[in-house]
Amino acid sequence: MEEANVKSEIRNSSSEIVFDNVSKFYGEILGVNRVSLQIAPGITSLVGPNGAGKSTLMNLMTGLLRPSRGTIKVLGIPTDQPEPLFRKLGYCTQFDSFPRGVTGKEFIKSFLLVHGFDRKKADELTLTALERVSLVDAANRKVAAYSKGMRQRIRLAQAIAHQPAVLILDEPLNGLDPMVRAETIALFRKLAAEGLHLIISSHILHEVDMMSDRVILLNNGYVVAEGKVHGVRDEMEDRALQILIRCDKPARLAARVFDKDHVVEARLHDDKLGLFVRTRDADGFYLLLNQVVAEGEINIESVAPVDDDLSAVYQYLIGSEGNSA
């Protein structure tokens, strides 16, 4: 039984990204502190304000930085072994810089040759990567003449060109117009569906919310919370959950629910066709609503939690506006 557990642990650690009590200090300044994480395949987002430690965590994961303490393994490979590591890992950094004078195609192909691919294979992989980011038409133009969005996409293409199993993306949606943004998110979803690890940092919380399987919330170098967005919200049991009830008689509903101990706030919606209720006992509140529906006095159209999204979670945990992160 014990042997089975050990085997299972080994199997898991070789398919996950594992941070074991990792700290990084820049002299006296804290980068990240005592981070222990296990990141499974799928899309994981790193969220936090500037200086929270998102890029530090990504740079540690890719060996661009070395931990001051602790160990990191990506699919079982220590991050100080570039040869095996970067066959499995692609990293699209937030540095908006390129080797001078290269075209988009040359940029991708030249680093595939550095990987050790032969020219034919490098050409093949370059074309595939360019197709994935819809930059085939601009492939022979100099990168210096690209728009910001195109530069972002060509860096993404370079990161995925060697077909890695783990893709790390630092602010990958920056500078993209809405159309390309939607296409890029769709591409991320497709890659995740193919079994890739995607680690994404972003400031745009509703997009993180839309595309992430799980989030890691960082603040001041510490992991504040991690898990599924809704799961993280559930962990905050002491926090009241806000629910919007759309109904024809919100004032009457307010009078009905307000005498319950777990209801801490009831507020009419501006259009007078809904009621915001803040409760400490979501299950108890839903039971009450069932009773109200059964009584038939108030016609309830819809019930939805309104602060179960990432922005609200972020605001609760970090104490600042998520959108300003």
Partner 1 sequence: MSSSTVDITPSKNIGKAPLPWSLWFRQIRAIFRLETEKNFLGRRSILLYLLALLPIIPLVLLAPFTPPGREWHDFTQYNMIFAVFYGGFILRTVVFFGCAWIFMNLFRGDIVDRSLHFYFLSPVRRQVLVIGKYFSGLVTAIILFTATTVICMLLIYLPHFPSESSRFFFDGPGMGQLLTYASVTILACIGYGAFFLVVGLFVRNPIVPAIVLYVWEWLNFLMPPLLKKISVIHYLNSLVPVPVSEGPFAVVAEPTPAWIAVPSLIIVTALVLILASYRIRHMEIRYGNE
Tokens found for residue 111 = 């680093």
Structure tokens at 183: 């296409």
At 76, the amino acid letter reads G
Q: Which of 1, 4, 50, 100 binds partner 1 (CB under 8 A)?
A: 100
Q: Pick the closer one to partner 1 by CB: 23 or 163.
A: 163
Residue 48 or 322 with smaller CB distance to partner 1 = 48
Which one-letter amino acid corresponds to residue 259? D
Does 142 participate in binding partner 1 (rule CB under 8 A)? no
Among residues 36, 82, 255, 287, which is the contact residue for partner 1, using CB under 8 A? 82
- Which one of 48, 53, 164, 172 is in contact with partner 1 (CB under 8 A)? 164
> For the chain, how far is it from start to end, CA to CA, in angstroms?
46
What x/- string results for residues 51 through 80 when contact with partner 1 is judged by CB under 8 A? Answer: --------x--xxxxx--------------
Say whether residue 30 binds partner 1 (CB under 8 A): no
127 binds partner 1 (CB under 8 A): no
Site for partner 1 contains 316 (CB under 8 A) = no
Q: Does 231 bind partner 1 (CB under 8 A)?
A: no
**Nearest C-alpha neighbor of 158 from the set 148, 173, 169:** 169
Q: What is the DSSP string of 140-207?
A: TSBGGGS-HHHHHHHHHHHHHTT--SEEEEESTTTT--HHHHHHHHHHHHHHHHTT-EEEEE-S-HHH
Whichever of 89 and 139 has its CB closer to partner 1, that residue is 89
Cα–Cα distance for residue pair 207/314, rounded to 1 Å: 14
Please state the separation of Cα 16 from the chain's center in Å: 16
Question: Stretches 89-97, 252-260, 274-282, 290-298: which one binds partner 1 (CB under 8 A)?
Answer: 89-97
Q: Tell me how many residues contact partner 1 (CB under 8 A).
A: 43
Residue at token pair 């319950």: 260
Judged by the rule CB under 8 A, the positions of this chain that interact with partner 1 are 26, 59, 62-66, 82-91, 93, 95, 97-101, 110-111, 113-118, 125, 158, 160, 162-165, 191, 194-196
